[in-house]
Structure 1
Amino acid sequence: MKKQINKIPNFKSEKDERNFWMNHDVTDYLHQMKPANLDLSMLKPSTINDVG
């Protein structure tokens, strides 16, 4: 049996959005999301070794 999934609501605040995602599984809403276009062309390698 398939779960009834509502649309992702418009949130009034970041706190409301955090509370929503703490109680909902993002994978149930993937079909409503659009992929982000990221430009990482200006990204530079880190000069800090933060391992351990």
Structure 2
Amino acid sequence: MLVKMQKKNVDPIGFGLRYRSRHMGNDDWKTWQQLYPTIKFKVNADINISDTGLVE
């Protein structure tokens, strides 16, 4: 899902806003626009199934 959004050049999660809040400067938005298409996502999921058929 993240890669599909990246290919469409959309950022509904707000990675760009987070980047801009931590990198001050005049060309920070231009830098982000250059970086976003090349970012590699690494996702770690920690899932624990405690029982079947229940949603909490």
TM-score by length of 2: 0.25
Larger radius of gyration: 1
More helix by share: 2
